[in-house]
Amino acid sequence: MTEVKIIADCAAPAESAFAYVNDYRNLPRFINEISEFTPTTEQTEGVGATFDGTIQLGPITLHSRIEIVRHEENFAIGVKSIKGFEIESTFLFHAKDANSSTVDAIVDYKVPGGIAGKLLGKTIEPFVKLAVKSSTNNLITQIAEFHSADANA
């Protein structure tokens, strides 16, 4: 598997960061490459919730069904594909103080073997790295806005 990890400081507490990411409807807001992300079960949070997603990485469109496999309140959300493109993704939220945190975005993906898999891997690798960096930047900005709006409500 190929791992891409981005660590960023966020102007909001870990609880706000977790709450924002925990709402699946926010995922396409901070990951621009996601064109579809829909629940496949009534459960939309916590271990066992599943979603179908479509992501555009450069010239390649990939589909996956993912399941939440890790859900630790205010600390971690992890997903793993159970169908389609193989991907594992984890968000970790580390409290720094009452008004700030650090967010770790970790993405592991695997392409199929053989020549076609190697070609796919070479094609999408730069797009995955850019997408994770861009998504993390979007995420910390949106979390800070979410926290600010929530604090002023």
Q: Which domains does the chain have, with CATH numbers?
A: 2-152 (3.30.530.20)
Q: What was the pLDDT predicted at 1?
A: 63
Bigger pLDDT: 5 vs 121: 5
**Cβ atoms within 10 A of the Cβ of 137, count?**
14
Q: What is the pLDDT of residues 3-18, one digit of tens each?
A: 788 899 999 999 999 9
Q: What was the pLDDT predicted at 77?
A: 97
Taking residues 87-104, what's their average pLDDT?
94
Note the pTM of the prediction, 2 decimals: 0.84
Taking residues 108-120, what's their average pLDDT?
73
Q: What was the pLDDT predicted at 150?
A: 73
Q: Do residues 31 and 11 lie in contact, with contact meaning Cβ atoms separated by under 8 Å?
A: no
The beta strand positions in the chain, using DSSP E, are 2-10, 34-39, 50-57, 60-72, 76-84, 86-97, 100-110
Strand ordering across the sheet containing 76-84: 2-10, 100-110, 86-97, 76-84, 60-72, 50-57, 34-39
Bigger pLDDT: 72 vs 105: 72
pLDDT above 90: residue 116: no
Taking residues 77-94, what's their average pLDDT?
94
Nearest alpha-carbon partner for 10 in 139, 149, 150: 139
